[in-house]
Structure 1
Amino acid sequence: MPCSIVVFNGTHHNDETVKIFSKHYSNYNTYWEKGTNNFGGVLVAVHRSIPVQKVDIFQHLPNVIVLDIGTAADKFQLATCYSPPNENLPISLFDKILKRNINTVLLGDFNAKHISWSSTIDNHKGRALFNWLATNSLEVVNKFVPTSTRSNGTIDLILAPTHMIAPTSSFCVLPSIGSDHFPVVWTPTAKLHKRDCLYPIKRTYWTLFKLFLVFTFSFWNDMSSKTDDIMHFFSTYERFLALLASRLTYVSYCSAYKPSLPPHIIKLIQQKKMILRLARKTKHPLYITQLKAYSTIIRKEIFAHKRLSWLNYCSTLNAADVKQFWKKARKHFSVTNPPINGFLSNGAVISSPNEMCNLAKSFYEDQFSMHINTTTSIEIE
């Protein structure tokens, strides 16, 4: 899951570990501070496309990192803090951070439990944090979802201003990746201005893709007839198709793009892809039914979108401006005749070349045959 900003708490890392991390994530700016115990330490990685600057007055504080994120128009302060279980919360430090910039996101492993955000018994750190939140404009984003693998406690908290916790924002807790804490992913409503954000544009050479499928058909056909494990063959062939498409796909980058479909249709297509994977994997009738329903909805939405786009385009045609009218209308006239794929004769479609030639010959022979009555004035002329 791609994230623009990644925060680690309780990393108990050393300088060598940070160097390895920075080497693997070279497209991120990495900031870290050591902790007060063997399990402490914090690390923040910010994508290089996002303007970021470390706040000088909060430098070299153990278990704390404070950064300015974004440009002047959308700048906010990001602070992370790891508070060991046997230490008190640095409330006075939190006050200083919030005093410097009220537009602050404060997050970290606070080891603070309170019934306002955790399904566990309160502890002294939780009560202290609850009292502090009551006097400030921050709210807990991820309430009542356990973040510890050893209990039902919500101890990894994201505190943000109210205007950043809109109904359109969302968070989720991912499965454990080996730590005793679950990763928490938050998608706020704030959109950062990226200075060098490039969008990938993929182009697949489908003609070559088709040629590969034609030339390898006999190989896969023989394999399917000889194999006893149909699922293994299916997964192997599916992997072949994925690798072939990847090999014949070239990616270019641009600084801006205009999607061909509106966001709500793109979201429907993404949901359909997810259900398609589940249907292929589980063969469950529920997913198959949902897949059919999504296909119908998407087809209708695309039709409605194209119809609306065409109506909007037609409304721009001004019959009074003849030159501009024909300049636009010329795009919709073909300069070449379309190919003839078949004839309709007596309610049946004739597509055989020989039969089409015979029909054409018979038709034109009748059209240009001699008239029986040759004494009319037209025939005489």
Structure 2
Amino acid sequence: MAVQSACSSALVAVCEAAQSLADYRCDTALAGGVAVTWPRHRAGGMSSPDGRCRAFDESAAGTGYGSGVGVVVLRRLADARADGDHVYAVLPGWGVANDGAARAGFAAPGPDGQAEAIAEALASAGVDPAEVGYVEAHGSGTPLGDAIEAAALTEVFAGVERCALGSVKTNIGHLDAAAGIAGLIKAVLAVRHGLIPPSLHFTAPHPDVDLGPFTVPTKVTAWPDGPRIAGVSAFGVGGTNAHVLVQESEEDIPDAVGERSWVLPVSARDEVALRQALVDLREHVAAHGPRIADVAYTLAVGRRAFACRAAVECTDSTVLDALDAAIHQAGAPRADLARRWLAGEDVDWGAEFDGLPVRRVPLPTYPFQRSRYWIDPPGKEDPQ
């Protein structure tokens, strides 16, 4: 489904996907947005004079633009847990509203529609505003837009003592249709790690912006006591407003598997990417110490198989040495399953994990291999 509500497009897409899941119209949804802005700094209009976004700051004079893409996978929580998926966070509620005739013009925002979307998200989740520890704002850095957004937030959060406020636009610029997904991913990581990230370029509130109970952190702060719940806003030209609540997922600790040997199947399109995939996996395991049973399961059932392959035979205690050996192409596999995998067979890994309490875990993605696809204007020499 293509969604076009200007700057709120990606977050509205998330709301549409979440509602489709809630209504059992689908079982898995991908939601996100993409924007390529060129040039990144525009003179005049809503643009910041120096290209920097200073959301809610006394020096705010416009927004800075950026390019980006983001996408999230959404499933009903019960289905995700039953299938052993890794759950980064839960979306307990969402709301979409439009300013309608209450705004001054097509491009002008209105506080009533923004407040309605925020209130709808809170009500649908049964969450009291006082439970929200952080709001990832639209925060475009325009004095008028920031003032209206602050007014809508303070209306809904009336009576709340304190809440943190930030905007990812201060880090990466305004991503237009992808702005909302960038804010959502930031909020998901914040509740997952229990840390509220700072906003850049903030010194003091703009004189036209009444922040009410909200504070803009300028350094990383620990999440306040209580459940970790964040709100994410995205407001579009034309008046379509979206707000999504993000809550930490309760840790689902699986049963013990026991000490045994596992095969880690790793593959790539070429030898350079394969070696990098092994290096990335080794660094990840060393840094985070995941259960190797879960790593093996994720690699076996959650990755596409390519022609260049490596099979790492290991236990929890020998995994780093085994990965080192694979990186340096030392040793040969002993297990029949590993030899068949290296021979290029389409291995059915299911029997290896039948009845075992394993789950998918976050692992490094496919190694990024830089290739240039930019189209130069006619007459310009190709720098390649």
Higher relative contact order (CA 8 A, sep 6+): 2
Q: Which has the higher helix share?
A: 1
Q: TM-score, normalised by structure 2?
A: 0.28
Q: TM-score, normalised by structure 1?
A: 0.29
